Chain A
Amino acid sequence: MWQYEKRLQYPVRVDTTNPTLAAMIIEQFGGADGELSAGIRYLTQRWTMPTGRAKGILTDIGTEELAHWEIIGTLAYKLVKDATIDQIKGTPFEAHYVNHGKSPFPHNAAGSPWTANYLNSKDDPVADLHEDMAAEEKARATYEWLINVSDDPGVTDTLRYLREREIVHFQRFGEALMIVEDYNNSKRFY
Chain B
Amino acid sequence: MDREEMNLLVEISEANFVVLETALYLNINPTDENALYLHNNASRRYHQLLNIYETRYSLLRNTSEDSCPWSYVDEPWPWDINFNYKGGM
Contact = CB atoms under 8 A, between A and B. Distances in A.
Interface string A28-53: 00000000000000000000000001
Interface residues on A, range: 20 to 34
Interface residues of B, number: 28
Interface stretch (A10-18, A88-96, A118-126, A133-141): A10-18
B28 A4 contact: no
A6 B79 contact: no
Nearest to A104: B79
Interface string B22-33: 011101101000
Contact of B12 (A7, A56, A61, A74): A7
A75 to B, nearest CB: 9
Main secondary structure, interface of B, reads: helix
Interface string B47-78: 00000000000011111000000001000011
Contact of A3 (B10, B20, B61): B61
Main secondary structure, interface of A, reads: helix
A64 B16 CA distance: 12
B13 interface: yes
B82 A60 contact: no
A77 interface: yes
A11 B28 contact: no
Given A4-B61, A53-B28, A53-B30, 13 more contacts: A3-B61, A6-B77, A7-B13, A8-B79, A8-B81, A9-B17, A13-B83, A61-B24, A70-B78, A74-B79, A78-B82, A175-B28, A179-B28
Interface of B: 6, 9-10, 12-13, 16-17, 20-21, 23-25, 27-28, 30, 59-63, 72, 77-79, 81-84
A-B interface, 7 closest residue pairs, ranked by CB to CB distance from nearest: A11-B83, A56-B27, A74-B79, A175-B28, A13-B83, A6-B60, A8-B78
